[in-house]
Structure 1
Amino acid sequence: MKSDFRFTNLLGTVYRQGNLVFNDEGTLLLSPVGNRVSVFDLVNNKSYSLDYEHRKNIACIALNKQGTLLLSVDEDGRAILVNFRARTVLHHFNFKGKVRDLQFSPDGTHFALSVGRFVQAWKTPDVSEDRQFAPFVRHRVYAGHYSDITSITWSGDSRYILSTSKDLTTRIFSLNTEDKDVKMTLAGHRDYVLKAFFDKNQEIIYTVSKDGALFRWEYTERPGEEELPDDQKHHSWRIISKDFFFSDHKVRCATFHAPSNLLIVGFSNGEFRLYDLPSFTMVQQLSMGFNAVNTISVNSTGEWIAFGSKKLGQLLVYEWQSESYILKQQGHFDAMNCLAYSPDGGRIVTASDDGKIKIWDVVSGFCLATFEEHISAVTQVVFAKKGQVMFSSSLDGTVRAWDLIRYRNFRVFTSTNRLQFSCLAVDPSGDIVCAGSLDDFSIQVWSVQTAQLLDQLAGHEGPISCLSFGTEGSPKLASASWDKTIRIWDIFSRTQTSEPFDVLHECLALTMRPDSKEVAAATLDGQITFWDVENGKQVRQIDGKSHIITGRHVEDRFVAGNSARGKYFSTIAYSFDGLSLVAAGNNNSICLYDLPNEVLLKRFTVSNNMQLNGTMQFLNSKNMTDAGAMELIDDDGELSDLEDRRRADSMLPGSNRGDLAARSTRPEIRVTSVQFSPTANAFACASTEGLLVYSVDESLVFDPFDLDVDVTPEATLAVLKDGEYMTALVMAFRLNETYLIHKVYEAVKVADIALVVRDLPLVYVEKLVGFIASICMESPHFEFNLIWVSTALRVHGKFITREKARFSSSLRLIQRFLNRVAKEIVKSGAKNSYFYQFVETDLHKDITDKHNENTDLQSTDEEMVQGSESEDEWFGPGQEKEVGLRFDGSSSEDEVM
């Protein structure tokens, strides 16, 4: 079992707060998700998360036009500069203030940001300049506003900066010293100015305010000076027209695409509108829900518009010309309770307190479907062995079965009593489903086919906390309870007896090894105990309290080391081979154990987000007052905007999500569920931050052909001519030229296919299978392709099974090829077999008739011989043997015929 896992993706949530950013090509969309940044590839339908973290939630991000530098700033003003293409962190910096907006100049030489009521212009770090100790060099600070700045906009030539503020004004600043006379204040709005834009010719300025007013400004002379000479005229920016949106709701965000004069405005009720300027003609009016649109971004071509809504975590990419959605994603509104991998490892199902079940594609990172039939929190989801049926339990008193082919609910299981089901288990065959509850001490058993309650297993003396079936071998059910016992049930026997295993504390988590021979249980004292199911003996025990990282809460007056909170595991899972186990709980750590040696292989930190309770380690006494922690005190002035005010977090004792009545919560970091992927190359955990996916680091794969082989098409053909088929195939894959790969592929001799496939590096197995899948439908070499496929599956079957999610599309194409072509071959083979039987039967009949005819003729000749006086009268010397051979019944078919 490999241990080099690393964070690869964040699922379950697509947007939290901040601004959305398109790259210059308009194909990638960057979205801040908590203290991380997720990237959505809108063309290839994939997503990934950058593996760096901020100390707090990200407030704004910016990407330069070249797509090389990404700058993200959190709520405290701490920035991280990232090489976006290499996905590596270059520099950390602190702007020492809350940054509301951040923008790179169009030419990429500078970036501007707003810190409080000041605008700061900084030089972009350049490779050609030696700035080892000062990557960020401040160019200038612009002052003039009397309140916080809300937005910053650059002109098209990167010379001027427009800043809008809560003081109801817009100001123009110049980047160059010689243009200092351009500085000017644009006043006239009656509410906060949210955004200001230049048109493509930089002759018009548009300003949008919160109350729904759009002003158009032009640089003209003063009224009454039309007849004066040009050198005596005084030019300034003046309001030419005023337009209003006439909406009952406030404007929350706006953006402008200068080349097409398209203005997009988002409102607090979820409505967004598209206007054509300067005519102020409304092009479209749509709604993305009932919650406010917090950010809008448009790509460089003006075709795709991205919208983000903070409250429900919605992310939309809309193509306004065709009126269709390119991307429409939404995360869980509430905390995730559980997760489950599909048997092929290609999908992950998550369930939440909001009653929704979501299916996520592992490769793309997108949500495929959402089930909303449950009316209360979903507590557990489990797949059947074949992966086409999924089961879920809920606090609404139902267990539901879902068809993942038609995406519908086809069975509902209920008990005779009103119970809130907290755990669920399905036997490997998918015929029996069991559920337990914290309200009752019995286990409910249903038949999946009839949805009838078959039995209620009694034996526990406390609430049922968890259930588990093994995936292989004899199906036995393991159950754990708060009565400090673990029971093993043989539910298919005539006498449904159970064998109890005693533990010292309440059992919180339970899992059975895939071979059904061992069961592991995590208890409240931080211990993980392992039992042999067949012999009923304890085989090992792991003390996890020393391995768990716990943090202090904001209201705690002690450091994390003196806290006894969360020193236990609440969820555990076996690996596919049963040699490793991953454990997590209501703390900030995920532990990976090696079971044969009983050692900790690796420990992962769930999150470094200091806005979550349980992540901080040390106590800063200056943040503590007699009234409590300063972070829980509302210190925003009375005149501050209501939407930006922070209310005190009056958490209830023992609450994990804060006071829901206050609608301002400080959640606690915790992991509610962990599970290994069936492909063994990843595991996922459902946490407060979202669904974290950890995969094996494939960057360590070594390719010896990258060292000394001069890879060119001519060199590839020369190597192929020398009979070095494997080397030629690898070189063709590295060049990625289809015609060259095809030529090398068909030049390999059938006798050498096994050798080539055996010596092929693992990094090229996926390319080989994908290439065969792409040509097999049109290729006439049916048997040749089958030999390649069968050899690849036989030699690299374990690797393909382990990486099944990566090979899924290629294997589906091969399966389609086999289904279509094999059916025709089977049909032709059946016809040929019938024809062969007919020909064989007819031929056998002809032979039998001929044989009978020859037998009758032989009898007549014998009578003639017996009636003669001497054989010599009839036959000459040497003729007897010839006649005997001619009429012998044992002669061959050709001789007889």
Structure 2
Amino acid sequence: MNGNFDLDPGEEPGKDNEMIYEHQKNSRRRDSDSEDCPYTKQARNEETGKQTTENHTYGTVTQGKTHLVPHGCVKLKHTEDSLLILWGPAAICSGHSFSAMAPLEGVPCQLVRIMECKQGAVRAVRFNVDGEYCMSCGSDKSVKLWNPHKGTLLHTYAGHGYEVLDARGSSDNSLIGSCGLDKSVMMWNVGTGECLRKFRGHAARVNCVCFNEESTVIFSGSMDGSVRVWDLRSRRNEPIQVLDEAKDAVMTVSVSAHEILTSSLDCYTRVYDLRNGKLMSNCIGESVTCATFSGDGQCILASTMGSSLRLMDKETGELLSHYTGHSSKDYKVESCFTSSDTHVMSGSEDGYVYCWDLVKGTLYLKLEHKGSRVVHSLSPHPTESYLLTATLGQMWFWSAEPQEEQENA
């Protein structure tokens, strides 16, 4: 396998049921110098023409507290320990400063509070469906549920055999789905903390999970190169569908009303159109560690191990914009759109979160995490200007605008 991800000795990718799709493959490798790339061309013209650096919005958030040892993130070669950061509305905490050259237009940059997760390395952080709560996944085999607006821990869910790598909340907030190194997918009752279901079937670690909109099924992507679909209404513990087109590890899974988006280390993003029974594959040319839909579902944002971020048209695979400057070579580094879809953000292996203007492609903001070498996981609020990030073993809460009532809550 590519990307230094290895299966356990003697394990082979599972091939259970198969779904037949009309396969539309676009294997052209696209880059930022393409002549039919209007967004990239516009940004390039601005950089070489009249646009100067003082006209570019740029800022830096500085963390006052220093951590000397950069513990874990999900690294492609080996793992260490992590830190969790949440971005939301409130005043800047003492010991941190922000400097910017222009108004930040709803981009989260104000620190509200820091919470110690106390679950070893934080592997991933996720908002729930309405953004009122969030989940952190730890190397101590636990999932924790938080109220980030008050900084309180609500519940701890323990039962995995090894580290937890991802978790998601259902649409009615009654269930949490989680996955990890023990090759299983677990369903939790949010209120009681009871484990309701445990699905097995993957041949290697499970990297990601995702509910459909009705939360009737849950999808899981694994190192074995497959995406498995589990029916939550059935008592059967076998997957109802196996999508095994990927030739390497599946890193992320996203679901819209009728489409499934996956990213894989085999250099492809894949969109499964469930209405028309079609599969659209797009070769990026580099191992893809993260892929997400835009808010309108028309574009795809893909992160690669080549330290680049690409915005592509979902239907044609055309490169719309290309974002660089961050570092992503050895770790699984996530990216996302802001809640307003005006900017894109990405973690980085140099201890920053980078933010670019969606259309112009110019660097808009850098958020520094002092003492941290890698910022690997981030999750935007579904509707407001909040952001969750992970590095080391803490959770931070940030906002676009300072609000004293949040700080005093």
Q: TM-score range by the shorter chain?
A: 0.5 to 0.7
Instruction: Show the counterpart of 1:275.
Output: none
RMSD: 3.4
Instruction: Show the counterpart of 1:478.
Output: 261
For residues 234-261 of structure 1, give each alpha carbon's deviation from its aligned partner in whole angstroms, at most 9, with x where no partner exists: xxxxxxxxxxxxxxxxxxxxxxxxxxxx
* Structure 2 counterpart of 1:446, one-letter code: W
Q: How does 1:223-622 map to 2 (within 5 A)?
A: 331-415=117-201, 417-438=202-223, 440-450=224-234, 451-470=237-256, 474-491=257-274, 495=277, 497-545=278-326, 548=327, 570-607=333-370, 609=371
**SS, match of residue 129 in structure 2:** coil
CA distance in 2, matches of 1:336, 1:403: 22
CA distance in 2, matches of 1:435, 1:499: 19
CA distance in 2, matches of 1:515, 1:403: 31
For residues 599-650 of structure 1, give each alpha carbon's deviation from its aligned partner in whole angstroms, at most 9, with x where no partner exists: 221101111x3xx6xxxxxxxxxxxxxxxxxxxxxxxxxxxxxxxxxxxxxx
Does the CA-based 8 Å contact 1:569-1:585 persist in structure 2? Answer: no
Q: Which of 662, 669, 678 is equivalent to 2:382?
A: 678
For residues 802-847 of structure 1, give each alpha carbon's deviation from its aligned partner in whole angstroms, at most 9, with x where no partner exists: xxx99xx9xxxxxxxxxxxxxxxxxxxxxxxxxxxxxxxxxxxxxx
The structure-2 alpha-carbon separation of the partners of 1:7 and 1:492, relative to structure 1 and needing over 3 Å to count, comes to farther
Q: 1 or 2 for the larger relative contact order (CA 8 Å, sep ≥6)?
A: 2
CA distance in 2, matches of 1:347, 1:571: 20
Q: Which of 90, 95, 111 is equivalent to 1:52?
A: 95
* Structure 2 counterpart of 1:362, one-letter code: P
* Structure 1 counterpart of 2:398, one-letter code: Y
CA distance in 1, matches of 2:183, 2:331: 28
Does the CA-based 8 Å contact 2:338-2:385 persist in structure 1? Answer: no
CA distance in 2, matches of 1:350, 1:430: 20
CA distance in 2, matches of 1:7, 1:475: 42
Does the CA-based 8 Å contact 2:166-2:208 persist in structure 1? Answer: yes
Does the CA-based 8 Å contact 2:120-2:393 persist in structure 1? Answer: no
CA distance in 2, matches of 1:489, 1:380: 22
The structure-2 alpha-carbon separation of the partners of 1:569 and 1:606, relative to structure 1 and needing over 3 Å to count, comes to farther
The structure-2 alpha-carbon separation of the partners of 1:580 and 1:408, relative to structure 1 and needing over 3 Å to count, comes to farther
The structure-2 alpha-carbon separation of the partners of 1:384 and 1:413, relative to structure 1 and needing over 3 Å to count, comes to same
CA distance in 1, matches of 2:308, 2:334: 12
Q: Could you tell me the percent identity over the aligned residues?
A: 16
The structure-2 alpha-carbon separation of the partners of 1:568 and 1:526, relative to structure 1 and needing over 3 Å to count, comes to farther
| 1:491 CA displacement | 3.9
* Structure 1 counterpart of 2:131, one-letter code: G
CA distance in 2, matches of 1:604, 1:401: 34
Does the CA-based 8 Å contact 2:207-2:220 persist in structure 1? Answer: yes
**SS, match of residue 671 in structure 1:** coil
* Structure 2 counterpart of 1:682, one-letter code: Y
| 1:5 CA displacement | 9.7
The structure-2 alpha-carbon separation of the partners of 1:334 and 1:480, relative to structure 1 and needing over 3 Å to count, comes to same
Q: How does 1:51-200 map to 2 (within 5 A)?
A: 51-52=94-95
Does the CA-based 8 Å contact 2:209-2:218 persist in structure 1? Answer: yes
CA distance in 1, matches of 2:58, 2:232: 38
Does the CA-based 8 Å contact 1:380-1:422 persist in structure 2? Answer: yes
Instruction: Show the counterpart of 2:30.
Output: none
| 1:535 CA displacement | 3.5
CA distance in 2, matches of 1:411, 1:508: 28
Does the CA-based 8 Å contact 2:306-2:329 persist in structure 1? Answer: no
Does the CA-based 8 Å contact 2:157-2:188 persist in structure 1? Answer: no
Bigger Rg, structure 1 or 2: 1
**SS, match of residue 240 in structure 2:** strand
**SS, match of residue 453 in structure 1:** coil
- Is 1:695 the counterpart of 2:399? The answer is yes
Does the CA-based 8 Å contact 2:58-2:366 persist in structure 1? Answer: no
Does the CA-based 8 Å contact 2:118-2:393 persist in structure 1? Answer: no
| 1:358 CA displacement | 0.8
CA distance in 2, matches of 1:572, 1:590: 9
TM-score, reference length from structure 2: 0.68
Instruction: Show the counterpart of 1:110.
Output: none
CA distance in 2, matches of 1:404, 1:679: 22
* Structure 2 counterpart of 1:420, one-letter code: R
| 1:356 CA displacement | 0.7
Larger proportion of strand: 2
CA distance in 1, matches of 2:365, 2:339: 18
For residues 3-62 of structure 1, give each alpha carbon's deviation from its aligned partner in whole angstroms, at most 9, with x where no partner exists: 99968999xxxxxxxxxxxxxxxxxxxxxxx9xxxxxxxxxxxx9994416xxxxxxxxx
For residues 77-101 of structure 1, give each alpha carbon's deviation from its aligned partner in whole angstroms, at most 9, with x where no partner exists: xxxxxxxxxx9xxxxxxxxxxxxxx
Instruction: Show the counterpart of 1:191.
Output: none
| 1:697 CA displacement | 2.6
List runs of 5+ in structure 2 lacking aligned partners: 1-56, 66-81, 83-89, 97-110
* Structure 1 counterpart of 2:183, one-letter code: G
CA distance in 2, matches of 1:514, 1:602: 21
Larger proportion of helix: 1
The structure-2 alpha-carbon separation of the partners of 1:598 and 1:427, relative to structure 1 and needing over 3 Å to count, comes to same
Does the CA-based 8 Å contact 1:487-1:498 persist in structure 2? Answer: yes
